[in-house]
């Protein structure tokens, strides 16, 4: 699914002519598309098609190409594409906030068109199909598809930058945009910076934490990852121009040192800054006057938008000023070509240009830089590349510049023209080899393979909500069993968590349920808690048949013996003296954080802290802790808003296994918990055990989830 189909439709003599379009995205996906035998759905490139012609175009595209068109009216296209897509998202995501508009009617049209695309997909997509959505025009589409096809595997790729949260939060409808993207199973970006910015926005604006790029959304995992888009390197490297190819350079130009830039007219491309730096280059290095020519190719784009009209006017004036100032009778410093150039013509220019001057202010990837290198089958030439281009992360051997630093760019032009041929070849061979390894085909296959893998993993990690029919099924399993073992966490599971004891005292309803449940002779009921053993024994003294696991598994109370037994005879707590100062440092530096201490664990809780600040502190703290716990009987565990350091040999899971060793006849097992310590218990229990998590914001090994303790109390009430 992309905004536009990879086909050009033209009208000529009242007939519609169809021609495959060429481009990076089409090249990369067309082979995958053919292999997977699906449908490509998008806008056909023309609007307000008469109703009598729509079915003709529809049938032609579907039959010959397996393309499915989404027809738009001119007013829809204006508000959707020229409006919100290119007047709000495009400039803001390219850090041009001064050129960004926030228009409610354009936003409404954008939503309506995304719904129109969704409706068209639903005519073709099965409930478990794989759907790949592309780019900023369709940010809401994954969320819409998820609601209609909850079991589908949905991928989304953004081909432009994703901005920092300070910029993204300027969008009045930012929440809906994020939720739309989060309808995906996998969200792809060109660079790690864009991925990082997206995850930061999810944390700060949607309160969604991630673990190594994975978030939990509506009880399913959503992954964000980096996939730098490549090009068809072999095609450019091996390209043979026709014998009678058009000559793009006259004889005089061919004798000069050529600097080349190729851009679409856009405010993000840095063309004005580049021209100013070229002017400064001629001032600073006058020895190049008459010996070098700058060929500036600019393809017309969005010419009806005022900002682009203003940019074009400034560009024309600046080219005129430079040529008027430096031209001689037989030399013009800037050759300005305001038109599109064929791919054959571009490759010819790439191979003749001594320097490729690629300096966008901000660009998602910039394939021109890669095309220039791939075209140089002689390995000569120098690439000057902006640090604002996504390609900069892969092409570190280029001359990297700040696109706003006029002096640096002027100096880089001189350095590029002076760079020895041996050094040029050495750098370019490294970069071309890298581009070959991760070309456009590898990019497409990598994303699709990862999407399918993550989709399958998501099915395994997704919990099922504890509905009444499922409760009834569990009750029936309980009834038909001869011997039962039930593990019940306390804080957050039977009562809402609180640091104050008086707020979590067991009420009469809980005591009554536990008393009834534990008094059944064929039941063994074990209360599992992080709390102190003396407090637990005091609170539940009226439940005389209840067993208790206290302090995260350190102590086990068996009602038959009426005594406590330690899980380990010798518990070393000296390690806490080394860990506590580190945690205290990060408590002091993170308002709202606090430490929870147990004999075998220390936990840093940041539930009440600013999530973005806590995330930064968390990374620093984890690095410091890793150097201390390495090689010791300690482990670091991360849960929901907590990080704990604990002894390896003590856990709720190990305590549960100790009890199960005594219950070999059990044919019904159930375990309920709410935090990271309970995950150890879920992992240690047999597959046949009924496991329930009281929380659904994070992924769990439990089979079922319920949103609050009320769901567990309802289930226990049904059981008793």
> Which one of 135, 185, 263, 489 is the catalytic residue?
489
Are 663 and 524 in contact by the 8 Å Cβ rule? The answer is yes
Please give the full DSSP string across 6-55, using - where no structure is assigned: SEEEEEETTEEEEEE--SHHHHHHHHHHHHHT--EEEB-S--S--HHHHH
CA distance 146 to 183: 5
CA distance 678 to 489: 8
Are 639 and 552 in contact by the 8 Å Cβ rule? The answer is no
Cα–Cα–Cα angle for 142, 144, 148, nearest 5°? 110
Which tokens hold the place of 704? 């079922």
- The CA–CA distances, whole Å, from 205 to 131, 175, 309, 510, 619 equal 27, 7, 35, 37, 20
Calculate the dihedral angle through the C-alpha atoms of 418, 422, 428, 430, rounding to the nearest 10 degrees. -140
Three-state SS sequence of 92-141: HHCCCHHHCCCCHHHHHHHHHHHHHHHHHHHCCCCCCCEEEEECHHHCCH
Query: 591-607 b/e with 16+ CB inside 10 Å = b?
Result: eebeeeebbbbbbbbbe
Residue 555 makes CB contacts below 8 A (sequence gap 6+) with 533, 548, 549, 564, 565, 566, 567
Neighbour tally for 338: CB within 10 Å: 14
CA distance 615 to 611: 6
CA distance 470 to 478: 12
The three-class DSSP label of residue 465 is strand
Residues forming beta bridges with residue 465, ordered by sequence position? 705
Please give the full DSSP string across 339-377, using - where no structure is assigned: S---HHHHHHHHHH-SEEEE--SSBS--HHHHHHHHH-T
Three-state SS sequence of 548-605: EEEHHHCEEEECCCCEEEECCCCCCCCCHHHHHHHHHHHHHCCCCCEEEEECCEEEEE
Neighbour tally for 368: CB within 10 Å: 27
* Total H helices, total E strands in the chain: 26, 28
Residue 208 makes CB contacts below 8 A (sequence gap 6+) with 182, 202, 215, 216, 217
Cα–Cα–Cα angle for 214, 217, 223, nearest 5°? 25
Residue 135 makes CB contacts below 8 A (sequence gap 6+) with 2, 3, 157, 158, 159, 160
First to last CA, the chain: 52
**Nearest alpha-carbon partner for 374 in 237, 259, 261:** 237
Backbone angles phi, psi at 555, to 5 degrees: -120, 140
Are 226 and 186 in contact by the 8 Å Cβ rule? The answer is no
Q: Which helix (H) or strand (E) holds 224?
A: strand 220-226
Backbone angles phi, psi at 321, to 5 degrees: -65, -45
Neighbour tally for 205: CB within 10 Å: 18
The three-class DSSP label of residue 170 is coil
489 assigned to active site: yes
- Which residues are part of the catalytic machinery? 489
């Amino acid at each position: 699914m992309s905004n536009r189909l990879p086909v050009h439709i033209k009208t000529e003599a009242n007939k519609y002519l169809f021609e495959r379009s060429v481009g990076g995205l089409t090249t990369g996906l067309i082979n995958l598309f053919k292999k997977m035998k699906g449908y490509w759905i998008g806008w056909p490139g023309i609007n307000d098609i008469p109703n009598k012609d729509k079915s003709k175009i529809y049938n032609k595209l579907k039959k010959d190409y397996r393309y499915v068109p989404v027809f738009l009216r001119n007013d829809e296209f204006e508000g959707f594409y020229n409006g919100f897509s290119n007047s709000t998202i495009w400039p803001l995501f390219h850090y041009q906030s001064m050129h960004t508009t926030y228009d409610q009617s354009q936003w409404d049209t954008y939503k309506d068109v995304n719904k129109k695309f969704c409706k068209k997909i639903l005519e073709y997509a099965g409930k478990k199909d794989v759907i790949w959505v592309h780019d900023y025009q369709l940010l809401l589409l994954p969320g819409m598809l998820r609601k209609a096809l909850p079991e589908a595997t949905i991928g989304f790729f953004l081909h432009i930058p994703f901005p920092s949260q300070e910029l993204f939060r300027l969008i009045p409808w930012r929440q809906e945009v994020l939720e739309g993207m989060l309808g995906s199973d996998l969200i792809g970006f060109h660079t790690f910076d864009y991925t990082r910015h997206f995850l930061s926005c999810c944390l700060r604006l949607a309160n969604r934490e991630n673990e190594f790029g994975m978030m939990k959304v509506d009880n399913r995992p959503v992954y964000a990852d980096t996939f730098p888009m490549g090009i068809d390197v072999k095609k450019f490297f091996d390209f043979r121009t026709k014998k009678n190819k058009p000559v793009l350079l006259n004889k005089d130009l061919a004798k000069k040192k050529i600097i080349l830039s190729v851009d679409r007219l856009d405010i993000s491309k840095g063309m004005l800054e580049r021209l100013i730096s070229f002017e400064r280059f001629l001032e600073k290095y006058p020895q190049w006057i008459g010996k070098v020519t700058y060929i500036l190719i600019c393809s017309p784009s969005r010419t009806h938008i005022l900002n682009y009209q203003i940019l074009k006017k400034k560009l024309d004036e600046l080219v005129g000023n430079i040529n008027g100032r430096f031209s001689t009778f037989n030399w013009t410093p800037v050759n300005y070509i305001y038109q599109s150039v064929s791919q054959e013509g571009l490759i010819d220019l790439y191979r003749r240009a001594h320097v490729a001057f690629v300096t966008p202010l901000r660009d998602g990837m910039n394939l021109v830089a890669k095309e220039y290198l791939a075209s140089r089958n002689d390995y000569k030439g120098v690439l000057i590349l902006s640090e604002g281009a996504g390609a900069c992360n892969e092409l570190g051997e280029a001359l990297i510049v700040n696109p706003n630093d006029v002096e640096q760019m002027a100096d880089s032009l001189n350095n590029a023209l002076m760079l020895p041929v041996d050094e040029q070849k050495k750098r370019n061979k490294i970069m071309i080899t890298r581009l070959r390894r991760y070309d456009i085909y590898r990019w497409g296959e990598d994303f699709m393979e990862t999407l399918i893998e993550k989709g399958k993993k998501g099915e395994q990690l997704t919990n099922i909500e504890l509905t009444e029919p499922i409760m009834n099924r569990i009750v029936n399993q309980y009834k038909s069993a001869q011997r039962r073992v039930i593990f019940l966490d306390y804080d957050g599971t039977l009562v809402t968590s609180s640091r104050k004891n008086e707020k979590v005292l067991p009420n009469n309803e809980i005591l009554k349920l536990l008393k009834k449940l534990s008094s059944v002779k064929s039941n063994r009921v074990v209360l599992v808690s992080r709390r102190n053993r003396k407090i637990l024994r005091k609170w539940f003294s009226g439940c005389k048949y209840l067993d208790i696991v206290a302090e995260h598994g350190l102590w086990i109370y068996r009602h038959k013996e009426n005594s406590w037994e330690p899980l380990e005879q010798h518990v070393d707590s000296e390690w806490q003296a080394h860990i506590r100062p580190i945690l205290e440092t990060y408590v002091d530096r993170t308002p709202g954080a606090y430490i929870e201490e147990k004999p075998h664990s220390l936990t840093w809780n940041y539930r009440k802290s600013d999530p973005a600040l806590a995330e930064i502190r968390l990374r620093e703290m984890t690095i410091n802790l890793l150097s201390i716990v390495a090689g010791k009987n300690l482990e670091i565990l991360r849960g929901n808003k907590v990080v704990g350091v604990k002894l390896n040999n003590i856990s709720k899971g190990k305590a549960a296994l100790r009890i199960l060793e005594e219950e070999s006849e059990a044919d019904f097992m159930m375990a309920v918990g709410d935090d990271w310590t309970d995950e150890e218990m879920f992992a240690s229990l047999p597959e046949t055990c009924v496991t329930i998590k009281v929380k659904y914001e994070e992924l769990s090994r439990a089979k079922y989830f319920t949103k609050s303790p009320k769901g567990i109390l309802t289930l226990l009430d049904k059981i008793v």
